[in-house]
Amino acid sequence: MRKARINRTKTVCTYCGVGCSFEVWTKDREILKIQTKTEAPVNGISTCVKGKFGWDFVNSEERLTKPLIRKGEEFVEATWEEALSLIAEKLSGIKEEHGPDAVGYIASSKCSNEENFLFQKFARGIMGTNNVDNCSRYCQSPATTGLMRTVGLGGDSGTMEDIMASELVMVIGANPAESHPVLATRIKRAHKLHGQKLVVVDLRENELAERADLFLHPKPGTDIILLNSLAKYFFEQGWEDASFLAERVNGVEEFKASLEKYTLEYAVEKTGLSMEQLLRLAEMIKEAKSVCMLWAMGVTQHMGASDTSTAISNLLLVTGNYGRTGTGAYPLRGHNNVQGACDFGTLPPWMPGYEPVNDEAVRAKYKAAWGVDLPEDPGYDNHHMVEAINKGKMKALYLFGEDMAIVDANSNYVHSTFEKLDFFVVQDIFFSKTAQFADVVLPAAPSLEKDGTFTNTERRIQRFYKVFEPLGDSKPDWLIFQELANRLGADWNYQHPSEIMDEAAKLANIFAGVSYERLEEWESLVWPVNPDGTDTPLLYTDKFGFPDGKARLVPVDWTVPFNPGADFDLHLNNGRILEHFHEGNMTHKIEGLVHKVPEVWLEISPELAAERNLEDGALVGLTSPYGHVEVRVIVTDRVKGHELYLPMNTAEDSEAVNRLTSSYHDIITHTPAYKEMGVKMEVL
Ligand code: SF4
């Protein structure tokens, strides 16, 4: 009898942008344990609960193992031949009748760089449209915009080593202790053991806020006023880094003039913070020799999100905190590969490596490589796609690895939009909420069943290796795209994801020196990577990402947050929790994590509990202009006054926070303003 042996395979975590890597110990298909190694570049010490215990979903009986085709109200199992032939016939028919832009392509920030590269190649090179986007539209697009405007590149300025080395870390609108747990542990260590100063700006007194040297709780949606007023105060006091500004930054005088109304008095009035708090923060920034600013969805999910992200970068420029160890801007990427999905071209205006689609030379380069003319105009983003479907301009969607029916804001509206599609392909590992609206559902393989690379929040590219064969008839996403492309007339013959990476490296300048050989096992590369394989952990040491090498101060103003009216008297905030991945896809299939956190709850303040006579466990209904949910409350002083917090994970779609959120969005990137919602609450 064959004895099963224990295998140890290196992988990269799929649960957040920190990008911890570790070994998976397996025997046949059983996962025995997760063990970190000292060689791991981000974190060779420990994992969080998801990294350690969050893997049994790969063997879940709920995994999709066969293609499914809708027949009326039912789905029936099909062969790959039947499913792919149907998709090829429908997509080419819609393209022929309505044009290439009648189809939209939504990519996955949970899937590999190579899969995202191939998906945008399919959309652009085979189907002839730039209508390709990914879930950064729901989270970090405004941060990328803020950085591209001011310093020229959208990625984090340095690595976690820089965050650790900083004298002052300022966390704005982020909850790393639950969303980026290993990073939070490292910040806690730097703070407790190495004297790093910590400032937290948030609505909710989260775990890092409890430890912070200064915790500020401004009124919702007023961060930009705080940031602009600090910039103005620095100029008034003569505290700006004058030589840095003179040598390395454009637009200083225009920016100074734009700050006229942002006095500290105005900031006190609008943010609700005290003058003492503002002055203390200004002194702390001035005294620190190096400052890092970290932010996430508390900043980026607002109508003025791109401008607030710009204001963060402006303040770093004014204070000279770029281009040195321990300085810079760190938008914390949420999904494991949201950075890579964007880097490898699943964004409407950008080819891989952020080379613009409307640049003739860029298109000529791709024509030489792929033999086709690429579309010139930037395509629709996710938000535009929903609108185009409603207007009848878009007829079909192809979406993989994204549960848009739960994730997108105003989900009741999104569901009704999906019902208008002529044809909808969903490719996933589970029969998601979104799959319920599909015409064809394709079974994909998760990361443990394929090879590939992910890019973490630091811009660090790491390899993961196949642990198991794909379950049932499921297949790696890249292979599905190849088989479909070849049915549509292509002649793709990739034998392994490494060949896809080789192609990306030849085409996109920032990946010039990336190869699987240079990424063997625990090796990693932080882009931009030069042809000789040298990489760039710290950006902007000599020049910023604009042709003249200088950064730009960009004037930005406050956008008054969306408010649905006086009837909706409570402010609803939302976010992640430690134990579940975002909305709970994958982690809700894991017994131990579900046992620990089986359902969602609503945090209410002691003041509100007293006012409404509520205790822990009471059932309440929340109503916004867009929908209604019912949920039990927890009374906690983490939230204050009339502010509520509803985590986004949910076992039941009927409890999901996006039943309540609106279609209002960041003015520039169209990222939904998830954090701007008023609700009313009734006791049930
Ligand atoms: Fe995974 Fe993030 Fe936890 Fe690391 S911190 S183990 S990457 S979820």
Task: For 38-96, give the DSSP string.
Answer: TT-SS-SS---HHHHHTTGGGG-TTB--S-EEEETTEEEE--HHHHHHHHHHHHHHHHH
* Span 289-311, average pLDDT: 97
In 3D space, the residue among 558, 591, 462, 556 whose CA is nearest the CA of residue 40 turns out to be: 462
Strand order in the sheet with 74-77: 74-77, 68-71, 440-443, 423-428, 396-400, 103-106, 132-133
Q: What is the pLDDT of residues 435-484, one digit of tens each?
A: 999 999 999 999 999 999 999 999 999 999 999 999 999 999 999 999 99
DSSP state of 125: I
**Helices 275-287 + 223-237 axis angle, to 10:** 60
Q: What is the pLDDT of residue 1?
A: 56
Q: What is the pLDDT of residue 597?
A: 83
* The pair of three-digit structure tokens given for residue 592, joined into one six-digit string: 């131990």
- Classified by CATH at the fold level, domain 570-683 comes out as Barwin-like endoglucanases (2.40.40)
Q: Does the Cβ of 184 fall within 6 Å of ligand 1?
A: no
The pLDDT > 70 percentage for the chain reads 100
Report CA(17)–ligand 1 centroid distance (Å).
7
Which residues make beta-bridge pairs with 683? 620
pLDDT at 42 over 90: no
What is the residue with the minimal CA distance to atom 3 of ligand 1? 48
- CB-based contact 129:662 (threshold 8 Å): no
Q: Which atom of ligand 1 is nearest to the CA of 51?
A: 6
Q: What is the pLDDT of residues 335-346, one digit of tens each?
A: 999 999 999 999
Convert 595-604 to b/e letters by CB count within 10 Å (16 or more is b).
Answer: eebeebbbbb
Q: What is the pLDDT of residues 591-648, one digit of tens each?
A: 888 888 888 899 999 999 999 999 999 999 999 999 999 999 999 999 999 999 999 8
C-alpha neighbours within 13 Å on the C-beta side of residue 119: 34
Report CA(180)–ligand 1 centroid distance (Å).
6
Q: What is the pLDDT of residues 147-179, one digit of tens each?
A: 999 999 999 999 999 999 999 999 999 999 999
C-alpha neighbours within 13 Å on the C-beta side of residue 187: 29
Q: What is the CATH number of domain 68-138+339-526?
A: 3.40.50.740
What is the residue with the minimal CA distance to atom 4 of ligand 1? 20
Report CA(139)–ligand 1 centroid distance (Å).
18
Q: Which atom of ligand 1 is nearest to the CA of 43?
A: 4
pLDDT at 40 over 80: yes
To which H or E segment does residue 664 belong? none
Q: Does the Cβ of 48 fall within 6 Å of ligand 1?
A: yes
Q: Does the Cβ of 182 fall within 6 Å of ligand 1?
A: yes
Helices vs strands, H then E, count in the chain? 24, 28
Q: What is the pLDDT of residue 675?
A: 94
Q: Does the Cβ of 47 fall within 6 Å of ligand 1?
A: yes
Q: What is the pLDDT of residues 184-211, one digit of tens each?
A: 999 999 999 999 999 999 999 999 999 9
6-59 and 144-332 in the same fold:
no
pLDDT-derived band at 44, boundaries 50, 70, 90: confident
Task: Among 15, 34, 593, say which to mutate for ligand 1: greatest number of ligand atoms within 8 Å of CB.
Answer: 15
Q: Does the Cβ of 13 fall within 6 Å of ligand 1?
A: yes
Residue 3, Cα to own-chain centre: how many angstroms?
A: 43
Residues 439 and 395: their CA atoms lie apart, in Å, by 13
Report CA(166)–ligand 1 centroid distance (Å).
22
- Classified by CATH at the fold level, domain 6-59 comes out as N-terminal domain of TfIIb (2.20.25)
| Single-letter residue type at 257 | A
Report CA(361)–ligand 1 centroid distance (Å).
40
Q: What is the pLDDT of residue 2?
A: 62
Report CA(183)–ligand 1 centroid distance (Å).
9
Report CA(452)–ligand 1 centroid distance (Å).
18
Q: Which atom of ligand 1 is nearest to the CA of 15?
A: 8
What is the residue with the minimal CA distance to atom 8 of ligand 1? 15
Helix residue spans in 373-476 (DSSP H): 382-390, 404-407, 411-418
Residues 376 and 372: their CA atoms lie apart, in Å, by 12
Q: Does the Cβ of 19 fall within 6 Å of ligand 1?
A: yes
ipTM above 0.90, yes or no: yes
DSSP state of 585: T
- CB-based contact 142:148 (threshold 8 Å): no
What are the extents of the domains in the chain? 6-59, 68-138+339-526, 144-332, 570-683
Q: Please return the burial class of 629, using the count of CB atoms within 10 Å of its CB with bins 0-12, 13-18 and 19+.
A: buried
- CB-based contact 108:440 (threshold 8 Å): no
Residues 619 and 583: their CA atoms lie apart, in Å, by 21
Task: Among 10, 11, 12, 18, say which to mutate for ligand 1: greatest number of ligand atoms within 8 Å of CB.
Answer: 18
Task: For 509-568, give the DSSP string.
Answer: GGGTT--TGGG-TT-EEESS--TTS---SS--SS--SSTTS-EE-----PPPPP---TT-
Report CA(13)–ligand 1 centroid distance (Å).
6
Residues 98 and 393: their CA atoms lie apart, in Å, by 8
What CATH architecture is 144-332?
3-Layer(aba) Sandwich (3.40)
Q: What is the pLDDT of residues 212-271, one digit of tens each?
A: 999 999 999 999 999 999 999 999 999 999 999 999 999 999 999 999 999 999 999 999
- Under 8 Å CB-to-CB from 267, ≥6 apart: which residues? 225, 226, 228, 229, 273, 278
Convert 631-651 to b/e letters by CB count within 10 Å (16 or more is b).
Answer: bebbbbebbeeebbbbbbbbb
pLDDT at 657 over 70: yes
Q: Does the Cβ of 111 fall within 6 Å of ligand 1?
A: no
Task: Among 33, 50, 53, 160, say which to mutate for ligand 1: greatest number of ligand atoms within 8 Å of CB.
Answer: 50
* Span 283-300, average pLDDT: 97
Q: What is the pLDDT of residues 51-65, one digit of tens each?
A: 999 999 999 999 999
What is the residue with the minimal CA distance to atom 2 of ligand 1? 16
